[in-house]
Structure 1
Amino acid sequence: MQSPQTASGTVKKALSVLDQVASFERPVRLNELVEVSPYPKGTLYRMLQTLRSEGMLTYDETQQAYSLGIRLVRLAHTAWTQSSLAPTARPILDALSKSIGETIHLAQLDNAQVLYVDKRNAQRPVEMFSQAGKVGPAYCTGVGKAMLAFLPEAELQQVLEQQSYHRFTPHTLGSVEELRDELSNIRTRGYAYDREEHEPGIICIAMPILTRTKRVMGAISVTSTTSRTSLDQLESLAPEMHQAADAIAETAEHWRFPVEQKSKEAMEG
């Protein structure tokens, strides 16, 4: 019988292999995985076979390549339904998208990164990095900064230590000091901007989604391009976005904590 430490190590290795397969975003051969894996070829091969037998990976005999398995799709769908804000936020995002006509993002923090959990395309779609299911940097995206600004200090410090501060554009914040100054400004005004910090020509305004106790649940953003709008024009959308963020937070709290909510209502009654 495996010890808890051994079992934990095995699970960690298996998850890292799944991450490596996923990072290629296409079917990947064993030799390609060996080049990026910290594990010896024999160990890696055994883990691939175990994951394949459990339905976590599939193997194409013709291409001799591994892909993520259908079991992961089922798990991802369940996680999206149970843990993501997306299902409860859907009608609110639909209404906001119809009203504004620009690209709408819904995101949550995934450790120290941003996970885009839903998206509505603009009436005139714009090609950009963000897609539902993709992970992006927190320090140079509007939704990321909107969430970071309202984290408790201890949690914020941990997240800041994990940022890369790579300069994607000349506008990217390049240090923890710059980012902390920006987060202070965000807390004061209540929302964040992306000033072409992640992609040239892409700007946004982002609003945090906070519980009544100010716990961060996620963030929404309205994104456009410098060729068809400005930050001043996007800022005019802040009141409507604030209403949408509050509506998502209230809906999500009722959905996630129904027993607690009913207890409060009974006490008030």
Structure 2
Amino acid sequence: MAQVIRSIQKALETIELLAQAENGLSLSDLAARTGYPISTVHRLLASMFEHGYVEQDPQTKRYYLGLKILALQAQGIRRRHFGRFAFPHLNRLRQHVNETINLGVLSGQDVVYLETFVPNSSMSFYAPPGTRMPSYCTAMGKVLLAHLPPETQDALLSSLELKPFTPHTITSLPALRTELAEIAQRGYAVDNEEYAAGVRCISAPVRDHDSTVVAGVSVTVLAEQLPTERIKPTAALLTQACLDISQALGYQGDS
């Protein structure tokens, strides 16, 4: 029994280290930080990978928290105080715009959906909680990147491979930096069919009591239903909903 407990402790230490590492950790990094032999850490990671608790980037070989952890996190958030503050505003926003509303956070290089509110319309884009998408070509990902501390943002952007998903995907790092600066100034981000052809998104940040951006909310719309002239009015409703949530969390700005 003592051996089982030690194994659990080692696994939990590994998970906690990965949770703190925005850019993931390599096998040698984890071994150095835990003080465990590389062979021990490798066995732990292999077991957690098999069950979905960690993921490995096939190119960098760095490890990240897996979708299983993020799905559990999503369930926890739905049941705890953040949900109590956020969900009435998100549901009201869905009723106003009659489009899909997503709540998500940044995890490593990706954005992860924690909750999705779907409209009554049958023509909508749906990604279930736990869905992971690239940050650089999604509205929610870009709005979260735009509000990272400068050093953190630089490190993350430098590690990105800007793979094109559609002809509209931003694949130039200078262009992405310019886009993020504009988003930070404007207050919301737009994904103009950059990740999925035929789908447009608008996203705005949610802040906590000390003004830190802790999440993003997005409106996902079929491109044909979101012409250019509809973007600003929709963004206004979205940013107001995010401000309402932020103020419920103790944020005192923009009043």
What TM-score, normalized to structure 1?
Answer: 0.66
Query: CA offsets per residue over residues 1-57 of structure 1, 9 Å max, x none?
Result: 98941179745653454335549xxxxxxxxxxxxxx9xxxxxxxxxxxxxxxxxxx
How far apart, CA to CA, are the structure 1 residues paired with 2:212 and 2:70? 30
Segments of structure 2 that go 5 or more residues without pairing to the other structure are 11-33, 54-60, 62-67
1:169 matched to which residue of 2?
A: 166
Shift of residue 238 of structure 1? 2.0
- SS of match in other structure, 1:151: coil
Counterpart-to-counterpart distance in 2, 1:13 and 1:122: 44
Distance in 2, matches of 1:201 and 1:75, equals 30
1:118 paired residue number? 115
Which of these residues, 198, 218, 233, is aligned with residue 230 of structure 2?
Answer: 233
1:63-100 per-residue CA deviation (whole Å, 9 max, x = no partner) reads xxxxx8xx998777446646x94453111111111111
Deviation of the 1:182 alpha carbon: 0.5
Q: 1:152 to 1:106 in 2, by over 3 A?
A: same
Conserved in 1, the CA contact under 8 Å of 2:100 and 2:124? Answer: no
Distance in 1 of aligned mates of 2:74 and 2:41: 17
1:14 pairs with 2:44: yes
> Could you say if the C-alpha distance between residues 131 and 110 of structure 1 is closer, same or farther in structure 2, counting changes exceeding 3 Å?
same
For 1:19 and 1:105, the matched residues in 2 are separated by: 27
The structure-2 alpha-carbon separation of the partners of 1:74 and 1:169, relative to structure 1 and needing over 3 Å to count, comes to closer
Q: Does the C-alpha gap of structure 1 residues 12 and 246 become closer, same or farther in structure 2, counting only changes over 3 Å?
A: farther
Equivalent of residue 94 in structure 1, options 73, 85, 91: 91
More displaced, 127-136 or 214-223?
127-136
Q: Map Cα deviations across residues 157-190 of structure 1 (whole Å, 9 max, x no partner).
A: 1221232211000000102211101011112211
Structure 1 residues 14 and 90 mapped into 2: Cα distance closer, same or farther (>3 Å)? farther
Whether 1:190 and 2:187 are equivalent positions in the alignment is yes
Describe the shift of the 1:8–1:218 C-alpha distance in structure 2 as closer, same or farther (beyond 3 A): farther
State how many pairs are aligned. Answer: 209
Preserved CA contact (<8 Å) 1:210 1:249: yes
Q: Is the 8 A contact 1:86 1:117 kept in 2?
A: no
Pick from 212, 216, 219 the counterpart of residue 216 of structure 2.
219
Q: Which residue of 1 aligns with 2:20?
A: none
Query: C-alpha distance in 1, partners of 2:100/2:38?
Result: 41
Structure 1 stretches of at least 4 aligned residues deviating more than 6 Å after TM superposition: 71-76
1:158 to 145, 155, 170: 155
Which string of whole-angstrom CA distances, capped at 9 and with x for unpartnered residues, describes residues 89-126 of structure 1? Answer: 11111111111111111111112210100111122244
Overall identity of the aligned pairs, in %: 28
Q: Taking structure 1 as reference, are residues 73 and 131 closer, same or farther at Cα in structure 2, changes over 3 Å only? A: closer
Query: Are the equivalent residues in 1 in contact too, given 2:188–2:205 (CA < 8 A)?
Result: yes
Q: By how many angstroms is 1:251 displaced?
A: 2.5
Q: Kindly tell me: are residues 78 and 184 of structure 1, through their superposed partners in 2, closer, same or farther at Cα, counting changes over 3 Å?
A: closer
Deviation at 1:136, TM superposition (A): 0.8
Structure 1 residues not aligned, in runs of 5+:
24-37, 39-67, 255-260, 262-269
Q: Which amino acid aligns with 2:206?
A: I
In structure 2, what is the Cα distance between the partners aligned to 1:79 and 1:229? 30
Q: Is the 8 A contact 1:204 1:231 kept in 2?
A: no
**Aligned partners of 1:93 and 1:110: how far apart in 2?**
21
Deviation at 1:192, TM superposition (A): 0.4
Report if aligned partners of 1:142, 1:205 keep a CA contact under 8 Å in 2: yes
Against the structure 1 CA distance between its residues 234 and 125, is the aligned structure 2 distance closer, same or farther, given a 3 Å change threshold?
farther
C-alpha displacement of 1:134 = 1.0
Question: How far 1:141 sits from its partner (Å)?
Answer: 0.3
Distance in 1 between the 2:86 and 2:46 partners? 31
Task: State the superposition RMSD in angstroms.
Answer: 3.3
* Residue 13 to residue 234, structure 1, CA distance change in 2 (3 Å): farther
Q: Distance in 1 between matches of 2:218 and 2:161?
A: 22
Q: Structure 2 counterpart of 1:19, which letter?
A: F
Distance in 2 of aligned mates of 1:80 and 1:16: 29
Q: Distance in 1 between matches of 2:134 and 2:231?
A: 22
